[in-house]
Amino acid sequence: MGATKLFWIVALAAIISSEASAQRTNFVNHDSKISHLAEPQWFRDNIPFVEVPNKEIEEVYYYRWSSLKRHLRYTVPGAGYIVTEFVHKVGYSLKFDTINAAAGHHINEARWLRDRRYVQDYVNFWTREGGDPNAYSEWIADAAYNSYLIDGDEEFMKSQLKGLIRNYRKWDDHYDDTWKMYWISPHWDAMEYSCSSVQTDDPYHGGAGFRPSFNAEMYANAVAISKIAALNGEFDIFLEYQTRAESIKAAMNQRLWDPQRKFFYHAFKDNNPNFELLDSREEIGFFPWQYRIPGNTSEYVEAWEQLFDAQGFGTLWGPTTCEVRSQWYDGNQTGQCCWWNGNSWPYSTSLTLKALAAQVRDYANSAVVTVNEYLSELHKYALTQYKNDKPYVAECHSPVRKLWVCDGFNNSEHYAHSTYTDNVLSDLIGIQPRPDNNFEINPLNPSNWRFFAAENIPYHGHEVTVLYDADGSYYESGHSGLQIFVNGDFVRAQPNIGRMTVPVPAPVARNGQQNIANYASNPNSEGYPAPRVSYTSPYASEWHPLDGRVFYDYTPLNRWTNYGSGNPTDWFAVDFGPGRSKNISQIKLYVYSDVVTGEGGVDCPKKMEVEFYDGQEWRSATNQRPTPSVCSPNDVNTIDFDPVSTQQVRVVFTRDVENNYYIGLTELEIWAAWPQSSPQGYEAEDGLIVRGSIKENRAASGTSFVGDLVQDDSSVEFTGVWLDSAGTYSIKVFYVNEGNEAKQILAANNDVEVPVTYPTANDEFASFVTVEVALQRGSNVLIFRKDTNSVSLDRIEIGGKV
């Protein structure tokens, strides 16, 4: 066996072997909670199981995990996962169809997943990949630090400091040194047509000003950066951002708080020399509480009366985004998008609930705001998230009728623009994650609840279970009251619901290096890898199974089917690209069925067989081992087989002709060792290619390279370039340039830019140039962009520190 083949087989075996997991408990009937969901094993593997004596709160909890799962999108080898906002691409989304507006929401939700790849890949995307983290207002640093409090991965968190600081400083041009705050328009605060913009000459983009929302987020980001800097031992940065945070906090309390009207308000930036506050309250005035910005005095607590007031924000399906008494309020819309001057938006509701929980838990007791008020508002939020009597979330909801107002067909379904599971876990259940080796809980549950549970919470690499059983008869754990179990073992109990802290072992270390990748994914649906099919229904697309999205809905559509084919067998193939052979031994098929949901005529095939192209003919892979042995509909079906090296692979499906059922795939994944050239080498053809082409050449590494990089925006992006420590490294770039001297700009981690000059060379990819560039610990992103003339790239090799 050759050394290369041995390398990737050993690497793949090491990765796919499951890590030893901590012992879990089984007080909750897991199957009863998720049996109705597609791909139930994913939920068993990833989520904390919650049980509460409130049907809607619990039902929506499990639905929201399924809606988040729909948005976990695999991108390209090395980069891994991101989280989308819409189920399909929209015109204003950016790289990999990302939008930064709800990124903080995404991170706060995904941080509870057991598989850390999802949240860490996504954080790394915003700090190094270049998806424009400053397009809209954001709280990415704050959410990233929140994720660290859950997983305890200090090395990862420390490695993100530079990128988070860079993102923060990109807002410098929105800072006003006179008022010591940041300004932004409501539109770029992700709130178009708000009552602070509709009263201007430009209702959509106008109304730029100092907003409680944006400044609270910048305060939170500064606090997070200061804490991460302290982890790194960089105390000058710690003090700088601590000072920045305190300055914003003081300015908000001094300038944006109205002591007469008892609320935080927007203030226009222009033509406002006296810094007069807006004439109307907006829901964003509650946001500062989630970051403990207001003082702990009776003056501030009076603001919360507006949340429950029918002339304030207290409507049947609220809270509203603008107070009802305002002349700018409009709560009677039925289909317009995107108005924030009345409609109830989950984006804001989830933040208001975080703020309300902070008021109840961390501020002085008040008759205005109690646990019962919190539970009532959370229950209202859950009730809002239904459509046709089934859990559902879209963009915005009417405040006065049971109607999703912003609910575009094949667009707004399962909209990822808010939190819910995080509200349940961190506030209702009361998990208060910490950076030390302790687990703290302080539930917001009413005294009449006799039971609740949050089981198998992934915390610092361990498994923690929280139970409340008033008399010990519900869960029969051998204990009563509030109980905590760590790694399956009982640790402590107390009779009443309240704050409780227990020690946990030190965090379980995780290297984080990606050693496998999905080589079938093509998020841009052009170039390679490319689908090849025997037949595609006119109602489907062969690109869907390679787009990195996994969901099984009839609508929104996300599938390839052979619906209408007259063939008893049809096939779906993946072509990796000219000369681009991959060493593979497994295919994952996410089989779509609308027969089991009663919606159509697509179902499991009777047989699935893997074939590979040997350069002359298609051959059946040997020793095929399907798991499960019988196809499972709307689920992942894995076929393992003896290793092969091939440029093209396909699955031949035999359909159920007797029942006239057709075949469907929502996704096809081919996971294999990453990288496949060597631990320090990365192939250009495995990267993200913009305005270029994969070409075959037997002299090239991997027998393929990237050429045609002739347009001004042509680039090759190497992702997942792993380093165990930060420093300046030497990099060899192998190339061919048969024309004039060429130049490119190497952009590292969306930060450092280094010019690269390629002398004329036509010696079949033996030529290389060496560049030195500062890189970070962890997964690095290197983008080679065209500068002058054209060059073909083969691979890069990472050398030692300089």
Rounded to a whole number of angstroms, the CA Rg of the chain reads: 27
More confident residue, 89 or 677: 89
pLDDT of residue 471: 97
What average pLDDT does the segment 112-130 reach?
96
Architecture of domain 53-428: Alpha/alpha barrel (1.50)
Residue 676 — left, alpha, or beta (φ > 0 → left; ψ -120 to 50 → alpha)?
alpha
Confidence band of 16 (pLDDT split at 50, 70, 90)? very low
Residue 21's pLDDT is what? Answer: 56
- How is domain 681-801 classified at the CATH fold level? Jelly Rolls (2.60.120)
Which is it for strands 792-801 and 727-736: parallel, antiparallel or unpaired? antiparallel
What does residue 346 show for φ and ψ, rounded to 5 degrees?
-55, -30
Q: For residue range 411-431, list pLDDT tens digits in order.
A: 999 999 999 999 999 999 999
Q: What are 448's strand-pairing partners? A: none
- For the ranges 371-380, 472-481, 568-577, 674-683, which has the lowest average pLDDT? 674-683
406 to 60, 194, 321, 326, 335: CA distances (angstroms):
19, 15, 14, 22, 6
**pLDDT grade, residue 682 (50/70/90)?**
very high
- 516-673 and 681-801 in the same fold: yes
For residue range 478-523, what is the model confidence (pLDDT) as tens digits?
999 999 999 999 999 999 999 999 999 999 988 888 889 999 999 9
Domain definitions of the chain by residue range: 53-428, 438-503, 516-673, 681-801
Predicted pLDDT at 17: 36
Closest CA to 369 of 384, 350, 382, 352: 352
What value does the mean pLDDT of the chain take? 95
Confidence of residue 684 (pLDDT cuts 50, 70, 90): very high
pLDDT band at 258 (very low <50, low <70, confident <90, very high): very high
13 band by pLDDT with thresholds 50, 70 and 90: very low
CATH class name, domain 516-673: mainly beta
Coil vs helix vs strand at 387: strand
Strand pairing category for 607-613 and 530-533 = unpaired
What pTM was estimated for this model as a whole? 0.96
